[in-house]
Amino acid sequence: MSSLVAEAVQAEIGAYEPWPDNACLYQPYQVEQITFPDYATCLSVKTFLHMCSLDFHTELRINAEEMSPSGKVPFIHVGAFLVAELDPIIAFVNTRGFHLSRELNESERSEMRAYMALIENILVNAELYLAWVDETVSEEITKPRYGYVHPWPLNRLLPWQKQRSMKARLKSISWSNKTIDEVCEEVKTCCQALSEKLDNKQYFFGTRPTELDALVFGHLYTILTTRLPVSRFAVIVEGFSNLAAFCKRVEENFYKKFGREY
Amino acid sequence: KVQRVIIDGLGRTKDDLIIQQVQPIFQADNFEEMVMLSQEVKIKLQRLQLFKHIEIYIDTSKGSKSSVPNGYEVKFNVKETRRFTGETKVTIGSNNPELLFGLKMPNVFGRGERVQVNYGQGVNHVRDFGLNFMKPMYANPDVLFGCGIHQYNGEYPWSGYRELDRALNFNITFPSILGIHTLKWEGVWRDLRSLSRVTSFAVREQSGHSVKSSLKHDFVRDTRDNKVLPTVGSWIRVSQEYAGLGGNVEFAKQDIEFQFNQSLLYDTVLQFSGAFGIMRSLNLKNEIRINDRFFLGGPLTLRGFNIKGVGPHSDGDALGADAYWLLAAHLYTPLPFRPGKGGFGDHFRTHFFANAGNLSNISLNNHIRENVMKLGEMFRWAYGCGIVLNFMSMFRFELNYVVPVRLQRGDSANPGLQFGIGVEFL
């Protein structure tokens, strides 16, 4: 059997197993190592799992990125399964019978997918731009953090290699040539769309959180709270008061109330 | 008396080197000694790999310059090697055949230095690329200084990972009364990744980058008459490795391998061989990584088990361990009824063997005696017989029928027919 088919069969069979007690999420070290784009995705996944009321504990590993089956963090280890990145994790959790967007109708669900794609295309790339392409931030913050856990000469080589691959990735979608002003404009447009969608509601689709809420919280909270030499993104997000309030609400309801770490 | 020594045909070889080499000839007192010394010089020059061709002519010295009546002239006609030579060859390392393309530059700067560039491809997606420089020190072909860079990319399916190594090394080889020593410093950047989604988690946890900066000492003493099918002589290799001068890998490793051969009546040979290794991590926080551990099992080492099939396993992936031992006894006889005697058949032998060994982790908390007892108790062993082919004195092919007698849980045994190919064997 080809490995893709084998995985699909495995996932189907595993769908009948209950969520185990020892589910684990792996990510790089929070204080010294993780870069803020990775922190945003890890926070999105953690928030999503909390919103589903699924228990897990967090394992911090230096080599989390290399351990991951897809090369990206975070990844979860549930029973015999390894799933990496938010979208596959959402799909995996759905096969186990946990749905956050169960009450949405078809059009709302496709709307949600569209907003999630918007964040993927704009916010994620903007964060990568700020972390790896912007001179100040990459030299002062991102590269030292990325290489901190490795011995010489890897503490210079690996961040440089990573920067090259990130720049190539951004170049392929024509982001690497943008100026920081243009990137800020993109972020502003994205936040505007999100702010309009959120309006005065508690969560994006009413009173119950969905996957979109987890994703938005992960990224906006990171932008608001990461201290960087270039803080223009934070200023933009703070300009939308309902988004800032949204972040506080999610933080209160899913983290502070339970004393969870984030 | 030797009047003159003429070397004809020098190009890039440096004069001072040649002068130093031929000095001994002037000490000759009579004809016999002169011939002998000239031969010795010829052999030494050949070992330095300076020339493709060396011919010696001895003549009486002529001309007005001859002050001595019985003067001789020794003339060396040499032909230097070309600047570049290429080669294609197959090497075999632990059941992994590899096709190597090499570009050699012998005698690069005139004093016997050799530069070699290699590219190899092999089984298990092995890609091997190396650049080596070697120089005989003090015009002595036995004392060599070398350095090189090397990139090796290969898969290790028995453990479920693939590894990319980039290495830089400096080494010195020198002889002593007992044998040949090699001292090496090596710096390696290793990148280990899981081979597939089903790689066991214990191996997946080892993924990532590590830098090993280590000092290694190898001692080899080989008195065998043939490396592949020896009939007499012994071989012993002792090596120590200390990793920790920089990098993030710290351990001390000791490894001993030996082989004794004894010829018996009727062209049979009795062989005892064994190996023993032990290592410990020097950093209490980190245990030894899978790239550095010992593995055991295979058609040329502990027969009866799959490659690296002995020892701790997780989900079918061999994890390796800190210590091992291996003992084997072989009896080689010529093929029954001696077909092809005097020709092809002489390259084959039948052999009967029994081999035993163990691979396990030692716990530093336990007493030495407990560890030794543990290594001694849970051992594995197998016996069998088969046919060995000596391929051009370079490789050894073995086709055996093996009966594993004692296994431990988790081992990957290979009862029945087993085929092995390689250079090193025990």
CATH class of B2-80: alpha beta
Indicate where chain A has its CATH 1.20.1050.10 domain(s). Answer: 106-258
Q: What is the pLDDT of residues A91-105, one digit of tens each?
A: 999 988 888 888 888
CB contact under 8 A, A151 and B201: no
Nearest CA in chain B to A63: B208
Q: Which member of B189, B198, B207 has the closest CB to residue A63?
A: B207
| Residue positions counted in chain B | 426
Give the amino acid at B235: W
Judged by CB atoms closer than 8 Å, whether chains meet at B197 and A7 is answered as: yes
Per-residue pLDDT at A100:
86
Classify residue B11 by its DSSP letter: S
For residue A190, what are the CA distances in angstroms to A111, A200, A226, B251, B364?
Answer: 15, 18, 19, 53, 58
**DSSP state for residue B334 in the 8-state scheme:** P
Neighbours of B20 (CB within 10 A): 12
| DSSP string for residues in B295-311 | -B--TTSSTTB-TT-BS
Q: Which amino acid is at A112?
A: M
Contact criterion met (CB < 8 Å) for B209 and A63: yes
CB contact under 8 A, A67 and B209: no
pLDDT in tens, A13-58: 666 778 888 899 999 998 899 999 999 999 999 999 999 999 999 9
Whether the CB of B208 is below 8 Å from some CB of chain A: the reply is yes
- The strand ranges marked E within chain A are 24-27, 57-60, 75-78, 81-84
Residues of A in contact with B196 (CB under 8 A): 3
- Spell out, as residue ranges, where chain B has pLDDT lower than 50: none
State the complex-level ipTM.
0.85
Q: Which of A3, A61, A151 sits opposite B211 (nearest CB)?
A: A151
Best probe of the B interface among A76, A154, A157, A161, by most B CBs < 10 A, is A154
Substitution target in B166, B204, B206 with the highest count of A β-carbons within 10 Å is: B204
**Quick one: how far is CA A25 from the chain centroid?**
13
Residues with Cβ within 8 Å of residue A237, at least 6 apart in sequence: A187, A191, A220, A223, A224, A243, A244
Q: Which chain B residues are within 8 Å of A62, Cβ to Cβ?
A: 208
Q: Residue B60 has what pLDDT?
A: 79
Q: Choose the closest CB to A154 out of B193, B197, B211.
A: B211
Q: How far apart are CA A225 and CA B41, in angstroms?
A: 78
Residue A115: pLDDT band with limits 50, 70, 90: very high
Nearest-CA distance from A22 to chain B in Å? 14
Question: Which residues on neighbouring strands pair with residue B272, listed in sequence order?
Answer: B260, B329
Domain boundaries, chain B: 2-80, 85-422
pTM comes to 0.86
Residue A7 has pLDDT above 70, yes or no: no
Domain A106-258 sits in CATH at 1.20.1050.10
B201 at the A interface (CB within 8 A)?
A: yes
For domain A2-95, give its CATH number from 3.40.30.10, 3.30.70.520, 3.40.190.150, 1.10.3720.10.
3.40.30.10
What CATH code would you report for B85-422? Answer: 2.40.160.50
Inform me whether the C-beta atom of residue B211 falls under 8 Å from chain A C-beta atoms.
yes
pLDDT at A8: 67
| A82: contact with B, CB 8 A cutoff | yes
Say if residue A1's pLDDT is above 50: no
Q: Is there a contact between B247 and A63 if contact means CB atoms under 8 Å apart?
A: no
Q: 142-161 in A: which are within 8 Å (CB) of B?
A: 150-154, 157-158
Shortest CA gap A143–chain B (Å): 16
Residue A243 pLDDT class (50, 70, 90 cuts): very high
pLDDT at A10 over 70: no
What is the structure's pLDDT at B29? 79
Write down how long chain A is: 262
pLDDT of A12: 67
Q: Where in chain A is the domain with CATH 3.40.30.10?
A: 2-95
State the average pLDDT for chain A. Answer: 90
- Burial of A207 per CB tally in 10 Å (0-12, 13-18, 19+): exposed
Give me the percent of chain A exceeding a pLDDT of 70.
Answer: 94
Cα distance between residue B52 and residue A121, in whole Å: 66
